[in-house]
Every structure is written in C-alpha cells, then in structure tokens.
Structure 1
Amino acid sequence: MSANPKILYPIIDGQVTGGNIVCLHLIEAALNQGWDVLVNSPSEGRFCDILREKGVTVYHLDTTRSFNWLSAVKMAQLIKKEEVSLVHAHAPFAGSIISALAGKLAGVPVIIHAHLQDALSSNSLIRSYQNMMNYWTSRKCCNAMIAVSYQVKDALITEGFDSRKFYVVHNGTLVNNREIDSNIRNELNIPEDIPVVIHIGRLCKSKGQHLLLQAAANLQQLGQEAVYLIVGKDLEQNGAYLDYLKDMAQELGINNSVHFLGHRSDIPQLLALSDLLVLPSYTEGLPLVILEAMAAGLPVIATPVGGIPEVVIHQETGLLVPVGDVQALVNAMLKLLQNPDLRNEMGNKGSEMVRKDFSVEKMCDEVFDIYEKVGLFCNSYTN
C-alpha cells in the first residue's frame, strides 16, 4: 500500500463546470497535503487539460450509463491496480452508481458527492430501477454522502437515500480582493456610467437566460439603461440554444445591450466590472457562481431553488424572485439598478458571509474530516 492516501475522483465529464471546479479545489488541497490523486472522466475536455497540467492522471472509463456494470468491474480493477484508498464520486446518477459498485467490489470506502437532485427517468420501469439502485447503493456500497445544501439532502432522503450517511458541506470559493480591469469595459465598449448585469452558467433553459432577456427588454421599455453579459457555452444543444437566445435578443430589440461571451477564463475580472449577478434558474444545487459573485461584492438576484436560499438571504445579500416570474425579476432588477447604495450594502454583506462561511478552506477542512470518519487514513497506512 502506498505511504500516502490515493484518492480516485470520478467526475461528470471533461467540461469546466461548477461541480468540477468544486472537485478541483478538493484535488488541489489533497495534492498540497502530499496525497496522490486520480480522476476518471467519461469524456475529454478543457477540465481534463487543467488536471493534467497539475500532474493528475486522468482515466476515461465510461460512467454515463448505470446499466453498464462492466464499467464498475473495470473501475474496481483500476482501484486495485492503482492501490486507491478512497473513491470520492462527483458524478451524477450513473457515475455515482458505477463508482459505488466499483468501490464495493474493490473493498475501499466510497463517498458520493451530490451537487444537485438528479432528475430521474420519465420511463416508469427505468425510474423504478434508478430508485432501487439509489436505495441499495446508499446503504450497501457507500460509506458517506455529501450534499451541497440542506435542500439537496432533504430531497435525496425523500427519494430513499440512507439518511444516516449524509453530511452537508456547502460549496466554497476563493476569496480575493475585488480586482478592477477596465480593459474589458473598453473591449466591449461599455460606458463607465452604464450598470452591468452578468449571468454566468452553461447555456440551457434551466438556467433561465431567456427570462433575463425578457426582463432586459421590459427594463429598456421603462427607460432603465444596462448592459448584459451572458457568460457560458451551449454544451447541451451544440449551439442551437445560443442561436435561440441571439434571435430572441434581436426580436426584443436589445441585441446592442447584450454580449454573449461564451466560455471565459477571466471570471474574476468580469465580476469586478459588474454591478449585479442575475441567475433566474429553474433548478440548482448550490451554484458556485453565486458564491463567486458574492465574494466579489456583488448582490445577487436569483430564484429560491436548491440551496440558493441558504446563501442568498432575501433583502440582505440579494433578492429572491419566484421561478419563471419575469415581472418579479424586472421589479427586483429595477430596485437594485436604481439604488447603488443598496447594491453596495447587499454586496458587502454577501462578501462578509462568503469569507466566514463559504471559503474553499472551510469546505476542504469539512470534507477531509469526513475522509477521516470513513477510515481513509486507517486504510492507507495499514500494510
């Protein structure tokens, strides 16, 4: 057995996503502890490149189908070959099932990290299988389950997961001083006196970009000036949803005020020039982008889904609006866009809250405490 713990992190895919960034923070902390790290991603992507740049070995076992039990056998073989001490899965349903089965076959502890409540199949037969596997693996094949919010924990317990295995560990983000980069304003030709509203996330209906565009059109009709930055890629529809959003902006007459920026690596700089984050999602776990925005001193307008109300405290660190309610979104945006003092007050409270309760260091400490509880160090140092 290796002198240092060796951890296998199965992830959802090779894209740069909020869940993968959370996993990256844990990987970096593990590497700093001198531990060995492996990652399994069913697909290639920029995130895999980031991992390899840090010296992490990336495997590509298929974990996209829960019926593919051969992948569980192959992962168990990999665990034994690499002398892995712990499996910490950050993949959704199929990946978590395969990881749990693999850990059980290989005889090592398994932790499932639930970033949100997975949507089960609409097919009743498949859904019954999924419920059965969730029930069985949570009791027989995993040692602990981490939920990113109390809402996610409660929802999963309702679905039949073992309530005795749960820990709640909120996501954490880096806390840096707000950095101003005026070059981006110049690059996008944004006047200094025009407020900037930003939305960050993958382009898809569940993130509510179309609602933001509708609200922006209403605000324009009311005479409220603003520039809107839409940051993220259309990973699910290969550009079709992006085209839909661009057509909508054109039809609404707001295309000159909206910038579709795609994937960006300068998120801290974009947040620094922004005045307000808007995230009108239909479903969420605990969005990392909200924590990043709050750390940068931005107030947040969001919907009360997932763990968002555990971070966005209504009327204190931001405003919460009902899901799909464009008029409520307009009213909330108008309130903050017309009141810089209120924006600053909410932004400062949010920044203090993140520094105290949602730092990367706090998240990693809590996760590593769970590693000890599931017997990682005992297993690792036993010859």
Structure 2
Amino acid sequence: MTVGEAAPQVGALLRGLDPDRFEQRLYAGPVEPGEPDYRRLRAADVPVRVLPELRRTGRPADHLRALAALVTAMREFRPDLVHSHDPLSGVLGRAAAVACRVPIRVHSFHDHPRAHRRSSTSPRQVPAVEWAFARTSSALVAVNAQVRDELLAARIGRPDQYTVMPPGASLSPVPDRAEARRRLGLAEAGPVVASVGPVNAVKRLDRVLTVARAVRRRMPDARFVICGEGDRLAETVAAAEADNLAVTFLPWRPDVETVYAAADVVLLTSDHEGTPLALIEAAQAGRPVVATDVGGVAEVVRHERTGLLCDRRDLDGLCRAVLRLLGDAELRRRMGWAAAADTREAFGTPRLVAATRDLYHRLAMARGGWTPEYAEPVPMLARAR
C-alpha cells in the first residue's frame, strides 16, 4: 500500500464493490522504510491485513513464509476469486490460489513487470516466471493497450485472457488557485509548474531541474513545485540548492488536489510509465500537462488538446513546451477544460469499479458460480455470500 498506482485502485474496489454481494479481504506487505504509506495518507478507512514477510526486499525464506501465510488465509476464508497486484504478490498470490484450488485467479499488470527494478527476480527470469503464472490465471488485466501488447509480445498470456482496464482516480474538491497557493506558502502571482510523483530514478527529476533552469532564464518569477518522496530526494534537493533554483519541495500530501490547483502546468519527465495517476489527477483538476511520451502517457494526454507530449530525450522540447503554455493563458484554459472533460468518465473511480465488477461477474458466470438472475461479482480474496 505504498503511494503508487495499485494502492488507489485496490482502495477504490474495497470501497466501491457492493458489500451485500462481495465479501473482500485485502492482504499486503508492510510499507518499506522511507516509502509513503497510501493508506495513512488517503485510505485510512480501507481494512488491510498486513503480512510482514510479504516484502519486495525480503529473502527467499521470507517469500516462502508469505506464501504459507497466504495459503493459510485462503484455506480459512475459502475465496471464490483471488485478484493479485504487483509482481511479487502476483507470483505468491497465484501460487497460493493454485495450491488452495481457488477457482478464479486474476492478476493486474500496472506496468510491464521488467519495469520493477527493485524486484528480487532477475530481469531474465521475469518473462519465464510470468509466462508460467499466466497459464494458471483465469484473466489478466493490463492498465493500457501498450502494456498488454508488450506482454503478449513476450508471450505472457493469450489475447483472450486480457482485459484492458485503465486506472481510476477521484480527486476531492479542488480549491481555487489563490487559496491553494496560500495553503502551500506560494506567492499568489507568478507562474507555477508542478511535478507530482515518486522521486526516483525512473521519474528523472533531473529533467525537471533542467527545465526549471531554462524557464527561469526567460521567466525569473516562475516557481517549480516537486511533491513526492523517494530514494533520489536528497540529491534532487541538493542539486536544486546548488543552482539556487526556485523549487519548493513538498512531502506526499493527502490533499494532493491542492498542489494541482496551485499550478499553471503539470510536468512529468519519466523514462517509463504505465498509466500515470498523476496525469489523470492533473486532468481532473483542469490543468494542462507537459510530459514525456512514454508508456501509456499518450492514452491520458492528447497532444495539442489536453497537453503537450515530447520525446524523453528532447530536453529542449520539454523546455519549449513549458514556456509555450506558461506564456499563453488562453491555451492553458482551453487545454485544462478539455482535460477535465476527457478524464471525468474515462478515468473515474466509478468506471473502474463497474469494469472490475463486470469482469468478476463474467468469470464467475463462465464457471457456473453465479446465476444470471443474481448477476454481479467477486474480488481481492473475495467470497460470494
């Protein structure tokens, strides 16, 4: 339940699926030291059963203990369906489900599994492991068409197993710009560019600093905000201070909508992405985006309609795009309005819950576990009542 794409999706399902139709249990590993806890920040109401051994940095013996704990839990709960997220949990969850003869097994890919560099599994082993476990799965969920196509190209799963299901996000009411800047301690006047997300190697915050240098040469009153935490935070802060850049660093906030509301432009500079929640949230807040055209970004940001996309190697292009938006208030307004309109339904939480419910229902019906007149479904270690 660290801050990232999977935790908000799982939280939405725990909250959104009808409790009269679904009994759910969520198992997760502990949040690692230095990582932000999504449950503490934005999902205190979501019940989680923590398995101390279920950790990415654990040893093989810890993984075996986590597997044994999951087998014990499934034998006690006797679920109709197990839905796993995250590479390690996908392996252990499906292994336990096979051992316990759980009839329906679903796994979600929030990115290509090789993108998870912190996994203890060697990159060379990933395709073989996922190939084997795909054969045990009733259905596979990909957050976008590109992730699905990359997995199929790696011979992970069959086309008929896949459902493309974009993530869903729901922001709290967005404050007005002046109030948001007051809350964050920012000057009411002057342009603000915000970057929201983990501060790690993949997100390439060094590019944000490069853009900040270029923009401030043209617009000295421009300010940049970086909201997030991660293993590259200290060096990013040091680099910003060394160049005397006007960058405000914020920790993860439960009211992330305040950060978007304070910004004129949202910037994402990643080397790789699945379907980034930060861009969905920025769009829902009515903010235009400048982003590197990687992963599923183009499925969220429509170039020249809701934002501007650049090649990840084109730093000059990123700088020009940010300057173009900061210099054209009408273009920002038009793109922000289009972004909010495009994402309201396509990437809303109700759509995610409904799509997941329908998937579970289809799988249960196919196995004779649900009658047409009763219609509706089963999640996360879920048992029909």
Alpha-carbon distance, 1:37 to partner: 2.1
- Alignment-derived partner of residue 134 in structure 2: 138
Indicate if the aligned counterparts of 1:37 and 1:56 stay in contact, CA closer than 8 A: no
- Alignment-derived partner of residue 251 in structure 1: 242
TM-score by length of 1: 0.86
* 1:67-146 to 2 correspondences below 5 Å: 68-91=63-86, 93-108=87-102, 109-119=104-114, 126-139=122-135, 141-146=136-141
- Alignment-derived partner of residue 24 in structure 1: 11
The question of 1:318 aligning with 2:307 is answered yes
Indicate if the aligned counterparts of 2:2 and 2:37 stay in contact, CA closer than 8 A: yes
Indicate if the aligned counterparts of 1:276 and 1:300 stay in contact, CA closer than 8 A: yes
State the distance in 1 between where 2:161 and 2:224 align: 43
Indicate if the aligned counterparts of 1:80 and 1:106 stay in contact, CA closer than 8 A: yes
User: Could you tell me which of 366, 369, 376 is aligned with 1:378?
Assistant: 369
- Alignment-derived partner of residue 369 in structure 1: 358
- Alignment-derived partner of residue 29 in structure 2: 42
Indicate if the aligned counterparts of 2:178 and 2:188 stay in contact, CA closer than 8 A: no
- The one-letter code sitting in structure 1 at the alignment partner of 2:252 is H
SS in 1 for 2:2: coil
Change (3 A) 1:361 1:251: same
SS in 2 for 1:207: coil
SS in 1 for 2:111: coil
Indicate if the aligned counterparts of 1:176 and 1:296 stay in contact, CA closer than 8 A: no
Change (3 A) 1:143 1:296: same
- Alignment-derived partner of residue 62 in structure 1: 54
Bigger shift: residues 46-55 or 208-217: 46-55
Change (3 A) 1:244 1:347: same
SS in 2 for 1:16: coil
State the distance in 2 between where 1:99 and 1:348 align: 42
TM-score by length of 2: 0.85
* 1:268-283 to 2 correspondences below 5 Å: 268-283=257-272
SS in 2 for 1:167: strand
Alpha-carbon distance, 1:59 to partner: 3.0
Alpha-carbon distance, 1:382 to partner: 8.1
Alpha-carbon distance, 1:51 to partner: 9.2
Indicate if the aligned counterparts of 1:199 and 1:278 stay in contact, CA closer than 8 A: yes
- Alignment-derived partner of residue 290 in structure 1: 279
State the distance in 2 between where 1:208 and 1:127 align: 21
Alpha-carbon distance, 1:253 to partner: 2.3
- Alignment-derived partner of residue 171 in structure 1: 167
Indicate if the aligned counterparts of 1:219 and 1:225 stay in contact, CA closer than 8 A: no
- Alignment-derived partner of residue 3 in structure 1: none
The question of 1:336 aligning with 2:328 is answered no
1:302-326 alpha-carbon deviations (Å, 9 max, x no partner): 1111111011111111000111322
State the distance in 2 between where 1:290 and 1:129 align: 32
SS in 2 for 1:74: helix
> Gapped runs of 5+ residues in structure 2?
371-377
State the distance in 1 between where 2:384 and 2:208 align: 55
* Aligned-residue identity in percent: 22
State the distance in 2 between where 1:276 and 1:100 align: 41
Q: Looking at both structures, which has the greater relative contact order when contacts are Cα pairs under 8 Å and sequence separation is at least 6?
A: 2
User: Could you tell me which of 194, 203, 209 is aligned with 1:198?
Assistant: 194
- Alignment-derived partner of residue 221 in structure 1: 217
The question of 1:149 aligning with 2:144 is answered yes
Alpha-carbon distance, 1:274 to partner: 1.4
State the distance in 2 between where 1:158 and 1:88 align: 23
- The one-letter code sitting in structure 2 at the alignment partner of 1:100 is R
- The one-letter code sitting in structure 1 at the alignment partner of 2:336 is G
State the distance in 1 between where 2:66 and 2:301 align: 40
Bigger shift: residues 217-226 or 103-112: 217-226
Alpha-carbon distance, 1:85 to partner: 2.3
> Gapped runs of 5+ residues in structure 1?
1-13
- The one-letter code sitting in structure 1 at the alignment partner of 2:285 is A
State the distance in 2 between where 1:296 and 1:382 align: 37
1:236-291 alpha-carbon deviations (Å, 9 max, x no partner): x3xxx22211121122221xx21100111111122112111100111110011111
State the distance in 1 between where 2:343 and 2:194 align: 19
- The one-letter code sitting in structure 2 at the alignment partner of 1:40 is Y
Q: Which structure has more helix as a fraction of its residues?
A: 1
State the distance in 1 between where 2:26 and 2:153 align: 30
- The one-letter code sitting in structure 1 at the alignment partner of 2:250 is L
Indicate if the aligned counterparts of 1:51 and 1:57 stay in contact, CA closer than 8 A: no
- The one-letter code sitting in structure 2 at the alignment partner of 1:114 is F
Change (3 A) 1:278 1:246: same
Change (3 A) 1:322 1:312: same
Aligned length: 360
SS in 2 for 1:330: helix
